[in-house]
Structure 1
Amino acid sequence: MTNPSTPPPPSGPARRSSDGLLHFALGLFAIGLLAIVAIFLTSILSDSSPGLWLYLVAMLAPLGFLVGVVYALWSGRRSR
C-alpha cells in the first residue's frame, strides 16, 4: 500500500438542510426577546399596561429556545 503524494483537497463542512431549523429557532427567540423589551418599555414610557398580544408574542422566546435545543440534539448525533 502506498500513500498518495498529495492529500485530498479539504472539503468544507457540508451545508445541511437542517440549518433552516436553526434559523427558525433564532428568529423565534429574537422576536420573543423584542416583545419582552417592548413590554418593559411600554410600562416605563406610558401609564397603560401592555396588551395581551405582546405577552403572547413574548412566549416565542422559550419556544425558540426549545426548537434550538431540538436542533442541537438532532444535529449533534453521530453520522455513520
Structure 2
Amino acid sequence: MTNSPQPPARRSSDRLLQVAVALFGIGILAVVAIFVTPIISDTEPGLWLYLLAMLAPVGFLLAIVFALWSGRRAR
C-alpha cells in the first residue's frame, strides 16, 4: 500500500463561510428577481421571493460571525 498525502481536513469555520456566502448569494438573486419580475411579466413577485430575499442579511451576519470567530487576537 502506498501512503498518498491526504488533503487537510476542513475546519468547521470554513463550512460556516460557505453557508454564509451561499445564503447571501441566494438572497441577492432573490432581490434581483423581485425587481426583474414586474419588468418581464406584468405580475407582482410572489411571497416566496420576498422570503428568499431575507436570506441576504442572514448570510451577511453569518459572514460577520465567521470573520470575528476566525480572527486572530493581536498581542
Residue 28 of structure 2 corresponds to 33
**Take 1:17 and 1:56, find their aligned partners in 2: how far apart are those partners?**
27
**Which aligned runs of 4 or more in structure 1 are off by greater than 4 angstroms?**
none
Q: Once the 2 structures are TM-superposed, how far is the Cα of residue 19 of structure 1 from its aligned partner?
A: 0.3
Runs of 5+ in structure 2 lacking a partner? 1-8
Matched position secondary structure for 2:39: helix
**Take 1:47 and 1:28, find their aligned partners in 2: how far apart are those partners?**
28
Residue 59 of structure 1 corresponds to 54
Deviates more, 1:23-32 or 1:33-42: 33-42
Task: Give the superposed CA RMSD.
Answer: 1.8
Residue 17 of structure 2 corresponds to 22
Q: Percent identity?
A: 70
Runs of 5+ in structure 1 lacking a partner? 1-13
Higher fraction of helix: 2
- Higher CA-based Rg: 1
**Take 2:46 and 2:72, find their aligned partners in 1: how far apart are those partners?**
42
